[in-house]
Structure 1
């Protein structure tokens, strides 16, 4: 089963599940049934947030270059949603990073942090499953 960019370590293969997740009786423990899907859902949420950050950055560029107009109600609603979703995570990073004028590196830093979190979760899931 393939889900785009979701790491394969988060999914149980039939061979690996019987070897790594089996208990003395040859079946799965209750934790194996919960941990695999839990890590998959967390990873998908991180991936979705990754795409929201990219959409927010592209939207801010388009507004800054006057390609799209925020006086359009639909465009304003999308921009406001993306701002409200991404700003709580970007604001602390902006406080730490030096001011580079019109260049905002905080989305890049947040994307790197999210990629690091995905790798950590994949390693934890691989060691538990």
Structure 2
């Protein structure tokens, strides 16, 4: 693959990945019932409305979950895979590669998003505890539904909260299983969020 193709692939993949992240965050924020009036939530909604609103006419919500956003994220993941295969390998990807790679890519994105949010929460708890920045509050709303059940089993001891550590270990175990499964199915190289 030539230098120009590599640059083009990088730019296209970056654009798709950034929008995919925003669309997935829209789904996640609604799933955890985050503050809709937060300025970051408002940005995410406005950035994704042009694509999500038409999809809602076809794909309704289910059980309070925005399935149109989730489907759009899945389609964007498949578009990223198709772009990679077409530009890098000069081949048309098969339906199985797109579907399985899209599924694993979306799971990898979910794990990476939660992992980064948890790391930010840990750093903020050391550097600026009690901060009420809109971004920090949103990250708290994303992570708390995953931490709270663990905290019920393992309460804070001596002022130390081990629930985040337990969650990070559990996520790493899931990531290893996903990585090995994706490798066994031959989609590891095209599911960028699992790399």
Query: TM over 0.5, yes or no?
Result: yes
The one of 57, 62, 66 equivalent to 2:122 is 57
Distance 1:37 1:104, change over 3 A: same
The one of 176, 183, 195 equivalent to 1:119 is 176
TM, length-normalised to structure 2: 0.44
SS of 2:128's partner is: helix
What residue number does 1:93 align with?
A: 150
Larger Rg: 1
| Distance in 1 (alpha carbons) for counterparts of 2:183 and 2:169 | 21
| Distance in 2 (alpha carbons) for counterparts of 1:28 and 1:82 | 36
Higher relative contact order (CA 8 A, sep 6+): 1
TM, length-normalised to structure 1: 0.64
Q: What is the Cα-based RMSD across aligned positions, in Å?
A: 2.9
Name whichever structure is richer in helix by fraction.
Answer: 2
| Distance in 2 (alpha carbons) for counterparts of 1:79 and 1:91 | 17
What residue number does 2:164 align with?
A: 107
User: What per-residue deviation string (whole Å, max 9, x for no partner) do you get for residues 44-78 of structure 1?
Assistant: 221121011010111122234xxxx73xxxx4322
What are structure 2's unaligned runs of at least 5 residues? Answer: 1-5, 7-80, 86-91, 187-195
Q: How does 1:40-55 map to 2 (within 5 A)?
A: 40-55=105-120
| Distance in 1 (alpha carbons) for counterparts of 2:156 and 2:110 | 30
| Distance in 2 (alpha carbons) for counterparts of 1:108 and 1:32 | 34
What are structure 1's unaligned runs of at least 5 residues? Answer: 2-10, 15-26
Q: How far 1:101 sits from its partner (Å)?
A: 2.2
